[in-house]
A and B are shown apart, each in its own frame.
Chain A
């Protein structure tokens, strides 16, 4: 079993990296005149991910598009390295998480953190290096333009993912004493799914910052008078943290929605059509396929059981209750749940745990957003002469706040079905992006410093 495991963890990511790497080929296109063949050979090497990391900075040196004036200072070089490392780390993390979330999910029973976790941690550290390097270089907190704030956002998303994954894993270990490991496995799978959804978001943000932004906008720029304040650090960093946390929570809501698709929905149909094919591939590559866990991704029913505020009148009959019994010495403890937690299937456990994680991260993000809006209002009262002036950015922050307040109310007070709440949470993803980028794209308002060229 051990050799098979090793083979799987090296060979399959390599193949996948090649497959998806060729899909995102434009991102890697070297400057004209370079031989594609040599690069391709490098990227498709056995340890493709690491090779890609090693090879990229090499042609970054003579890349005319590379930003940071070449040869001016070492920090430009450092910047390039950190940038590629962050991108590479997230790419690898996405690959590994997707692999694990679909076909390689048999590994979920392993001890310790999944490899995607470490790849993401690597990307996170690279972003820390990137941003602190910027800070040293420009002498002010690195949140003055689009590139820096996108990098900070990507850092935030990875940090939140790592944090919740780590706590989720430790909770899983704490709980493994109960339930024959059933719930702890749900927790582990939850953190896997979180990585599946959050990695591509972070990857997309980093890719957008590095490949789509005009190079002129990537340069560190001086602060305009209105930004020269200590409030910059306080306000912008808290707001970016809130965006990151809210985005993470919202993609988890999407995951809950995807997981709880009814049987007749097209998404389920596509998934069920694709899974056997993928499973065949997996069977060919790995000696011992685990079809049981693939089914964990297609959880369908029973989400209503996760509704914590279920009407109390619906007391289940005694016959429906399932009793879990544990004993220590002479004392026996019986546990029966009327909310159905004890009789939940594996899929429902998974969906509920996932929803719980989404809910917790959205709570945290909502708190951050509140602090961010308040600090922004106080700053505006110092700099612009009014604490609230219906500036588009302010307005959209308020809209975001209202949308998530709506989500929390449906959870806290209305006791909605998990799916219905998750829809609002998932909608929040869109609102956060409009608030963050959309307002600047419209080119209106007072918050447009250092963003798009006019």
Chain B
């Protein structure tokens, strides 16, 4: 047999125990000095079990298979060949972990914590979420009555017009979280605890325990001649071979073993619990955010400021029921956000490249400048628990010169047409026509005048009092991308309208900010950080191998084993291991 493959990875694509070497080396230090816990006396320990509340009774659940001849908790005792296989360190450490006592299912909790039930829950949540993307969200009742004449009543009654915050959906999410807890505490925990145990089987039991049985026959004559090829020596070699393949191996006698019990992939038994924990952590963080957080939006003109606490109290986006109890509340109330500068960078083709707001955080009482930063989309400002995002923009006013005299013209937003936003400003004709605008004290004819229309911060269309386009004013801040010559209208920083010279100095914008305080984010992120590695690790198969010299026939070694997935690959691997020993 020429099969001497290296340690085969159970999963071609993802990390196998062997790749955890670096992490394992770190874990080794923790695992070393742990004393062996007294065997089988853990029934009274409820350490950490309090974490799993939910009204489930605390009780120890003895393994159904406690009739095995020898039950041994994993110990951190040094093993032969342990030094060459550092990847085992992490599993050795997991073996010494004292897990909380599993909870006993009560009141039919096992039924709704069962995988089949949670599967149904998952699909129902997924279905409702999908429905929420098909039904328009957050419209008026009249809209639904028109669009869904048949079912609008039912739809509104169920709250499907705001699917993701309607009671049905929230109750389902809570239920899902509850079954995550129940599943972890009553189903996964006992499985992990059982996986921590090494059990030796009698020869008879081995024949029926595993998913396969291998018999290695070493002829008796040869075994008598040379001890090193006898069954005992082969079992030792099998132990080394299994350790080389990343197994944690226990034997009944250290020097001259008659029985071996080995396991690999304990991480794969623990990781699903970590996945559930991570999901719960994220849901918890989300809930904290919904209850204690607040989020609002505010439009501040350049040079203006707003009180952070007041803006959040407005809660125009989200306002949690207990947002006043947020830990950062005091700090946020005491600060103002001031917009020092707002500008839009345009690309050559006139589309918006990016929005920039220069913000300063000031003390509300002393106006002392505490912090300042320039934000843009994708780069928020964080100060004192509040996060400020660039979200919107508008045009506030224009600074112009009329016949050399500086004037400020306020702008007003026009109704949105086809998604195009525009602003307009009006100047009375009497003012425009005057040689010196400072002399005009009263406007007699407020309906007559020139109209200026803007839809970006680069140029302004100026319409004369006869409602024809008089010219286009260009902002001095805008890049000159093309020479506009021979145009039928006036174009430039200065044009003449109604006999007066109108010069544009600056278009002053206002910046739309989202102000948010979400104390749940650290929890959510912690959940995410745990979720990613735990998801990847939970694919590791958990495999067990038992080997023993046959009691009835000392020339025969029995090998059996089982895997919770990738059964065929596992059988192949054990075959390879056994063949390499048989050689």
Contacts and interface: CB of A to CB of B under 8 A. Distances in A.
B578 interface: yes
Contact of B133 (A167, A338, A392, A402): A392
Nearest to B214: A335
A370 B531 contact: yes
Interface stretch (B365-373, B463-471, B562-570): B562-570
Contacts, number: 196
Contacts of B568: 183, 341, 352-353, 356
B295 A386 contact: yes
Contacts of A387: 521, 524
Contacts of B387: 385
Nearest to A442: B133
A337 B535 contact: no
A228 B567 contact: no
Contact of A336 (B212, B354, B391): B212
B354 A308 contact: no
Contacts of A36: none
B421 interface: no
Nearest to B2: A177
Nearest to B344: A225
A339 B567 contact: yes
B115 interface: yes
Contacts of B578: 333
Given A364-B14, A413-B115, A339 B130 contact: no
Interface size on B, as a range, is 35 or more
A339 B212 contact: yes
A337 B212 contact: yes
B216 A333 contact: yes
Nearest to A398: B129
Given A225-B354, A331-B216, A360 B575 contact: no
Interface string B379-410: 11000000101010000000000000000000
B435 interface: no
Interface string A349-388: 0001100100111011011001100100110011111111
Given A371-B532, A395-B133, A330 B219 contact: yes
A335 B378 contact: no
B378 A226 contact: yes
B583 interface: yes
Contacts of A395: 129-130, 132-133
A312 to B, nearest CB: 8
A378 B132 contact: no
Nearest to A388: B286
A385 B528 contact: no
Given A315-B208, A383-B377, A364 B133 contact: no
A402 B579 contact: no
Interface string B188-200: 0000000000000
B379 A382 contact: yes
B582 interface: yes
Contact of A385 (B126, B164, B353, B516): B516
Contact of A412 (B349, B378, B532, B565): B565
A334 B215 contact: yes
A359 to B, nearest CB: 8
Contacts of A439: 133
Interface stretch (A106-114, A136-144, A403-411): A403-411
B516 A374 contact: no
Contacts of A337: 211-213, 571
Contacts of B215: 333-334
A367 B539 CA distance: 9
Contacts of A309: 564-565
Contacts of B174: none
Given A364-B13, A392-B133, A414-B115, A385 B2 contact: no
A379 B272 CA distance: 26
B217 A331 contact: yes
Contacts of B13: 163, 360-361, 363-364
A229 B378 contact: yes
A118 interface: no
Contact of B516 (A225, A363, A386): A386
Given A377-B528, A385-B387, A228 B216 contact: no
A393 to B, nearest CB: 9
Given A371-B532, A377-B528, A308 B222 contact: no
A370 B211 contact: no
A211 interface: no
Nearest to A355: B568
A424 B351 CA distance: 44
A349 to B, nearest CB: 8
Contacts of A328: 1, 579, 582-583
Contact of A406 (B123, B286, B351, B535): B123
B5 interface: yes
Given A332-B217, A382-B379, A405 B133 contact: no
Contacts of B14: 363-364, 367
A360 to B, nearest CB: 6
B252 interface: no
Contacts of A177: 1-3
A396 B516 contact: no
A222 interface: yes
Interface of B: 1-3, 5, 11-14, 115-116, 118-119, 122-123, 125-126, 129-130, 132-134, 137, 163-164, 208, 210-219, 222, 272, 286, 295, 317, 347, 349, 351-355, 376-380, 387, 389, 391, 514, 516, 518, 521, 524-525, 528, 531-532, 535-536, 539, 563-569, 571-572, 575, 578-579, 582-583
28 contacts: A183-B568, A183-B572, A225-B355, A330-B222, A331-B216, A331-B583, A333-B578, A334-B214, A336-B212, A338-B208, A338-B210, A341-B212, A356-B566, A364-B13, A366-B535, A367-B539, A370-B531, A378-B528, A381-B521, A382-B378, A385-B317, A386-B518, A390-B163, A395-B132, A396-B133, A399-B129, A403-B123, A411-B565
Given A333-B579, A334-B217, A339-B567, 15 more contacts: A178-B575, A183-B568, A222-B353, A224-B352, A228-B377, A330-B218, A332-B217, A338-B210, A342-B212, A353-B568, A359-B565, A366-B535, A374-B531, A395-B133, A412-B272
Interface of A: 163-164, 167, 171, 174-175, 177-178, 183, 222, 224-226, 228-229, 231, 308-309, 315, 326, 328-339, 341-342, 352-353, 356, 359-361, 363-364, 366-367, 370-371, 374, 377-378, 381-388, 390, 392, 395-396, 398-399, 402-403, 405-406, 409-414, 439, 442, 444-445
